[in-house]
Every structure is written in C-alpha cells, then in structure tokens.
Amino acid sequence: MGNLGPNFTDPSSPHAGEFQPLDHEEFRRQAHRVVDYIADYYKSIEEYSVLSQVKPGYLLASLPKTAPSEGQRFDEILGDVRRYIMPGLTHWVSPNFFGFFPATVSSAAFMGEMLCTAFNCVGFNWLASPAATELEMVVMDWLASMLKLPPSFMFSGMASVPLFSFSFLWTGGGVLQGTTSEAIICTLVAARDRAIEEIGPPDYHDYTSKLVVYGSDQTHSTFKKACQLVGIRPSNIRLIPTTAKSNFALSPLDLQKAIKADVAAGLVPLYLCATMGTTSTTAIDPLEQLVHVVTEYNIWVHVDAAYAGSACICPEFRHCLAGVERVDSLSLAPHKWLLSYLDCCCLWVKRPSLLVKSLSTNPEYLKNKLSESNSVVDYKDWQIGTGRRFRSLRLWLVLRSYGLENLQAHIRSDIGLARIFEDLVRSDSQFEIVAPANFGLVCFRLKGSESKRTEALNKELLEQVNSTGRAYITHTIAGGVYMLRFAVGSTLTKEHHVVAAWKVIKERAEIVLTTEDRNQIVNL
Ligand SMILES: *Cc1c(COP(=O)(O)O)cnc(C)c1O
C-alpha cells in the first residue's frame, strides 16, 4: 500500500472511516433506485401538469438557506426531489408538450449519457482520451453521410484529397458542441479572423468595425448574441425583413441589395447565417440562391439547421439543403429532433483549420508530441472551452440502436401527427393556419377581423390552454402577426395526445370568444 490518500479515519470526523464518495456497491443500490424512479416517472408522466404552475420563489422559500454540515440519507434526498423539485418542473418529456421545439429523448441516448458520465473523460485533446475524440469523428461522419452532406464536410472525405492526407487540418470534419449558439460563435470568430488576416497588417479595430453580417429577421437570436460576443458592431448586423408572402424566407434579391449597398459604403461583408427551419415558423431560406448571391464576396456562409436539419435524413426533405456543398459550415442539434437528450449540437466545417487557427491555445501543461505533429484532432481547438464531455456516446448509441430506417420513421411519424393537427385546424372555421407547416410545427390562430382584438384573443387562448396543465403550447410573432405554435414531436406523443390537445384548445376557445367575436368570425 502506497499513498493512502486523505485520512478519513480521523476520529474527530463525524463519519469516521466511512466517507467513500464512490463505493461501487452503494452506487449499484442507489443507481437502481434512481432508474426505477425515472422509469416510473416516464410511465406516469401524463399525471403531471405539463407547464409548472408554481409561483416565483417557491423553491427558495422551501429549502434551507445553507447546505447541511452532515451528510444526509439518499432516501430523504430522493423524497425531496418528489416533494420539492417535481412541482417546479415543466415536463418537456410529456407527450402533451407542444411548446418551442421538442427536446427529444430515447433509451439509447440515456444509456450513452450514463456511460459518458461514468467514464468522466475530459477529452480536450486526443491523448486525454483517444476513444472520445475518434468516436466523435466517427459519429460526425456517420451523421454527415445520413444527411448526404458532401465529402468536403467529412473526415473520411480526405481520402479524396490524398495530397493533404498527412494532416487532418486540411480537410473538413465535424465536432459536437453544446448548443447552436456555440457553433455560431466559433464559426463567426473563424470568419472574422480570416477576413482580418486577408486584409493584411491592420489597424485591427478600425477594420473590425467595418465587418458586416447578414441574416433575416427570422434568424435565431443566438446569431445576434454571437455577433455581440465576437465584436461585430450592432449597426453592422443586417437582419433583412421577410414577409408572409415569401413564407418568411430570406429573399436572395434583398440580400444582394443589402450587400451591394454595404460594399458601396466601404464596408466588408463577412458572414451570412442562413436558416433551414426557422424557430418561429420553420421557414426555409433558399440556400442555393443565397450562396449564388454571395459567391463573389468571400462571405462565410453558415447554415443553422438546428431543428429541421434532422428531417434531411429522409430523402424527401433533403432538397431543403440543396446548395450545402457551397457553404462553409452547418449546424444541427440532434437534441431537438434526433432523440439524443440535451446537449448535443453537431457542427460541420469545410475548413476546420480556420477554427483551429482562431481557437487554439497551446499551454505547456496540455502539450504532447501528437498534438504538435498535427497528426491528431484536438477538439479543444474547435470549441470555446477546454474541457469537454464524451458526448458522442449518446449519438453513437442512438444511431446504432435505431438505425437509419427507424430514425426516418420517427421523423415521418412526427410530421404525420403535425398533418393531423393541421387538418383539425383547417376543418374549423374559427381558426386559420398562418404559415406553411413544413415539418412538425403548425402555426395557427383564432381568426379575427380587427388585429388588436385578434391578438388579445389568441393571447388569452394561450394562457387558458396552458393553465389547464393538459397541454403546453407557445407563441411567436412573425410579419407582425401574433400566432400560436403547436410543435409536435415530443418522444412520447401519439395521435390521441394531438387530438386531445386540439380538444383542449377548442374548449378554451369557447370560453375566450364572446358572441360578438363569434359573429365577426362567421362573417370573415
Ligand atoms: C433552437 C434553435 C436555436 C438555438 O439553439 P441552442 O442550441 O439552444 O443554442 C438556434 N437556431 C434555431 C433555428 C433553433 O431552432
């Protein structure tokens, strides 16, 4: 026996000789109980109000002000999860959750998450856990190939450029980020630094102040946040207005006009964030035409396909990504639609070397021969932070356990359920569909002739529906129109849940509408 570690046999300690934070038998006992608890939760999840009905501060008022000085029993803690935590949960896994976009889950991903947590590898570079880096490369290529992304986004794509095969950095590849926000920040930084370098030795600040970025008024707010963080001037962020007439898609012509005006004003176009499946209404920006517009300007084109990108594993939706071979990067979040639990956002880049250039650091304590020879991928240089979890296990388990066919069936089934909801709305003369339902999201509202009144009615309807706890929906405003969003796709949702949610909506609409409203709607 060499080093005995900290001395827990100190007789003055309250648990003299007992403290062992990872005793494998104790672990087994507790973990079995938690698994039972979770399985029971999933089984009875419909009994809970989907939207938590607690008031702000409810938990702060219930729990002690300080942590205990003596350890407490596991039973007691689990009991408090039931007592205090459960009421304050909004049940994202509930089959009656139709808000935002679903955050999908699966047994396979859960198993992957358990393994990830168990190994606790901090895989910042290859050597820190070779399996973590290489499995990530494998699953990123697998998913890229399921999506029919061009080889230029894949590690295995380097086979087609043998000249450069000595170094991973010359070819494309993918990385798992936590969220889309991180994916956009990383690519925007790479684009910024490329632009600064190309312009030559600089007055950095003067030059940065000239960089202009583009998106539409439907681009996710995470883009604006990324711009703030990366130092893009607020006045140089062009969020080009879209219209209901063009289904809220970014117009290539409007983009071209904006770029031309900026160039004429001496500004430098830097980055375009195109969206496949916007958050408000799942609008699809016309990638092929957009790429055509920007070719002559050396603009970094990123595609944000956080939610809808997953649908492209089905051949009938792949056309939504037409033109992707000419973009610089693409992000897609399997935690939204590919059953993989939070957090999991895939980012593919054509030239990871640009990410590495901007994001790499090489402190002495992380150095090793392999990293210095550039013969391995060190993922710390492809992301914001240094430490990283073994996230790829989750996706590996999902892709292997279900296979392409089941995953396609899962996407199609959700879209089928959304069609059922859409038909229910269309068959009712009091309601209307307000944006094309491209995937699993249906945007709808109570009709009305007077816009203020209509908005107020729909707001009231939303409140009413959510206060029942029997369904949860959210809203958005697009083109100045307040609308309700019904997002189908929570993993446990079946047809009868969709039909039941529609019944709740109908029932609450009867409460919200006055006789006068009803008469007006009839006359529309
Ligand atoms: C959900 C969503 C985001 C935000 O994703 P995070 O992973 O939470 O950063 C960005 N873009 C689109 C289109 C989304 O739907």
- Tell me, what's the pLDDT at 204? 67
pLDDT per residue as tens digits for the range 377-395: 999 999 999 999 999 999 9
146 CA distance to ligand 1 middle (Å)? 21
Mean pLDDT for all residues in the chain: 92
Q: What Cα–Cα distance (Å) separates residue 323 from each residue in 92, 124, 291?
A: 34, 33, 7
Closest residue by Cα to atom 12, ligand 1, is 306
**C-alpha span between 25 and 8 (Å, rounded):** 19
Q: Is 520 exposed, middle or buried (0-12, 13-18, 19+ CB in 10 A)?
A: middle
Atom of ligand 1 nearest to the CA of 279: 15
Nearest to 440 by CA among 248, 274, 308: 308
**C-alpha span between 461 and 465 (Å, rounded):** 6
Per-residue pLDDT at 363 exceeds 90? no
Are the CB atoms for 250 and 294 separated by under 8 Å? no
Q: Which residue has the tokens 């189908």?
A: 488
Q: Which residue has the tokens 């399996």?
A: 131
Q: CA torsion sign, 443 to 444 to 450 to 455?
A: negative
Q: Which residues line ligand 1 (CB under 6 A)?
A: 101, 179-181, 220, 222, 275, 278-279, 304, 306-307, 333, 345
Are the CB atoms for 391 and 382 separated by under 8 Å? no
E-only strand ranges, 148-242 = 173-177, 211-216, 237-240
Closest residue by Cα to atom 4, ligand 1, is 180
Run of H or E residues at 481: strand 481-487
**C-alpha span between 495 and 497 (Å, rounded):** 5
CA dihedral 22, 28, 32, 34 (to 10 degrees): 0
265 CA distance to ligand 1 middle (Å)? 32
Per-residue pLDDT at 169 exceeds 80? no
Q: CA torsion sign, 394 to 395 to 400 to 401?
A: positive
Counting ligand 1 atoms within 8 A of each CB, the residue from 92, 180, 329 with the most, and so the one to mutate, is: 180
Run of H or E residues at 393: helix 392-426
**C-alpha span between 368 and 408 (Å, rounded):** 42
Q: What is the DSSP letter of 85?
A: I
Per-residue pLDDT at 500 exceeds 80? yes
Percent of the residues in the chain that have a pLDDT greater than 70, as a whole number: 93
85 CA distance to ligand 1 middle (Å)? 26
Atom of ligand 1 nearest to the CA of 277: 13
pLDDT per residue as tens digits for the range 422-449: 999 999 999 999 999 999 999 999 999 8
84 CA distance to ligand 1 middle (Å)? 30
214 CA distance to ligand 1 middle (Å)? 17
Model confidence, pTM: 0.93
Q: Is-cis flag, bond preceding 343, omega within 30?
A: yes
Complete domains list, the chain, with CATH: 24-99 (1.20.1340.10), 122-388 (3.40.640.10), 412-523 (3.90.1150.10)
265: confidence class by pLDDT, cuts 50, 70, 90: very high
Token pair listed for 249: 């898609």
205: confidence class by pLDDT, cuts 50, 70, 90: low
370: confidence class by pLDDT, cuts 50, 70, 90: confident
Atom of ligand 1 nearest to the CA of 275: 13
